[in-house]
A and B are shown apart, each in its own frame.
Chain A
């Protein structure tokens, strides 16, 4: 949501969890989401980006790494819709392949944060007590640095590279998931159906999987969408600094930084990959905001 590093706390709100009338609620959420024009727009754009990334081999007009030194730094033409870069590579094709990398980085790092952070939040929120105190102390330490700086520090330790960026951005996102999952789990834990399940003899594991997780999920889903946006921004930022994807990998951030010396002659090689980031992140934020409004029973809409 915010600049390179994103601290989701500004937008995250706790959501009241309705009793488990799940099917009906899903329909209502979907209806509300469809009526939200911004969310719908974001959803459609994301769908296009995902499909283009998945079908990059078919969709992209050129090989992303094919150099053609005779036509270097050319402006947008009929052959090269978005122009060429300093090696005569097709900017559009590189952007499409870059989308694949950015999405991959986003999903992997958010996956790391979701599994570790979400797990910590679930355990801490469900058992409370000493485990909770220890887990949250750990989270507080991670929060002592803004997320992007934490990622930067981890990269300093692990060394540059795309995989390390995924790990670093993933760890930097753990606190957000730990906190949101925890507060959501605490709300659900206190409800009657959980007490009923326990009284009926269900073990902790079963209560968590069957009763707590499904009902505590809404705010976590919203966080996944917003964190994806933040993770893509952070990863692109790290690559821009030369700490992530290395040339010639067509990653949006590293495309920008390698085309930067030629900005006077050929700004398109800088402009368009950046626009791709803006559009992707904006769409994710639209969907995330829309989801939050749709899932939150108190929302005004």
Chain B
């Protein structure tokens, strides 16, 4: 297990290096002078020279990258052009809100998705199964921004039950954003749960258990579900990536003060140090979540471990 962990951890490094090249490229390979782009048209010559110097734009690209990477590793992400505060500070101030929202959303998705998937699989092609399947497909097809606005329209504007924006003030503030963000994850988990459960139920050891006279509920939960959950764990991990992406839009709609909204604001106002910081933060988070999922997977399924340490 330790060996597997070490190998898996090492795999993150080249990936993050690759991302750093992309992120660096965002600022430096774009057409036009980044310093000019960042300052806008009303800058003085002196400001311009200072910024070029500060950004190290007078060096060759490779040197620039090395310097930039060195700073990144030391968590020096530069300063925001808009607020002049350190980027890291801005990111850390916003990050908890995003994690909170994503955690509530994925929690909802697991609580709703797994039971529906299991239920569907035990009654394949029934009316309820069809409703669940079409519902899941609809959930996957709904744009996050439209769903968010529709939920605001129905639950805030028409019914007046729930607040439409903001975060601090109680659990009610979480419901609309978390449901909006979590819907596609519900759909994906439901579909995956249903199909793996169907496959598992078909297998010999389930028939054996039934033949032994094990209770139906016990067969389902102790034998089938445990085995069918494995691929679902992977989907949950993949969904987390989607949640990060969805957070960008959800946070914009619900005025949620997370890093997703920060990203959009930064892109609109050409605040490149912040853009770089947010993208890097997303990549690191995504890599860590995938790492966690892989470890969890190896923990649940011993075959994964042996495959890695074997070679």
Contact = CB atoms under 8 A, between A and B. Distances in A.
Contacts of B192: 10
Interface stretch (B74-82, B217-225, B281-289, B302-310): B281-289
B279 A153 contact: yes
B140 A2 contact: yes
Contacts of B61: none
Given A237-B144, A241-B248, 7 more contacts: A144-B19, A145-B286, A148-B245, A152-B263, A237-B143, A277-B143, A285-B141
A88 interface: no
Interface residues of A, number: 51
18 contacts: A2-B184, A2-B188, A3-B144, A5-B245, A141-B19, A145-B279, A145-B283, A146-B282, A148-B245, A152-B248, A153-B22, A156-B266, A159-B30, A233-B141, A236-B145, A241-B252, A253-B145, A281-B141
Nearest to A242: B268
Contacts of B144: 3-4, 237
A237 B145 CA distance: 7
Nearest to A145: B283
Contact of B145 (A5, A137, A145, A240): A240
A277 B145 CA distance: 11
Given A4-B143, A274-B149, A278-B141, A146 B267 contact: no
B15 interface: yes
Interface string B273-294: 0010001001100110000000
B152 A263 contact: yes
B153 A270 contact: yes
Nearest to A143: B15
Contacts of A72: none
A260 B248 CA distance: 17
B40 interface: no
Interface in B1-53: 14-16, 18-19, 21-23, 25-27, 29-30
Contacts of A155: 267
Interface in A1-48: 1-7, 9-10
Interface in B63-100: none
Given A153-B22, A270-B149, A146 B286 contact: yes
State the main secondary structure of chain A at its contact with B.
helix
Contacts of A128: none
Nearest to B21: A141
Given A156-B267, A237-B145, A267-B153, A3 B18 contact: no
A274 B150 contact: yes
A263 B140 contact: no
B230 interface: no
A49 interface: no
Interface string B239-252: 10110111011001
B156 to A, nearest CB: 10
Nearest to B157: A264
Contacts of B142: 3, 278
Contacts of A7: 238, 241-242
B205 interface: no
Contact of A140 (B18, B25, B244): B18
A65 to B, nearest CB: 23
A221 interface: no
A240 B249 contact: yes
Contact of B30 (A10, A158, A242, A271): A158
Interface in A154-199: 154-159
A128 B286 CA distance: 29
Interface string B137-170: 1101111111001101100010000000000000
A256 B149 CA distance: 9
Contact of A5 (B16, B241, B264): B241
A257 interface: yes
Contacts of A157: 25-27, 29-30
B235 interface: yes
A253 to B, nearest CB: 7
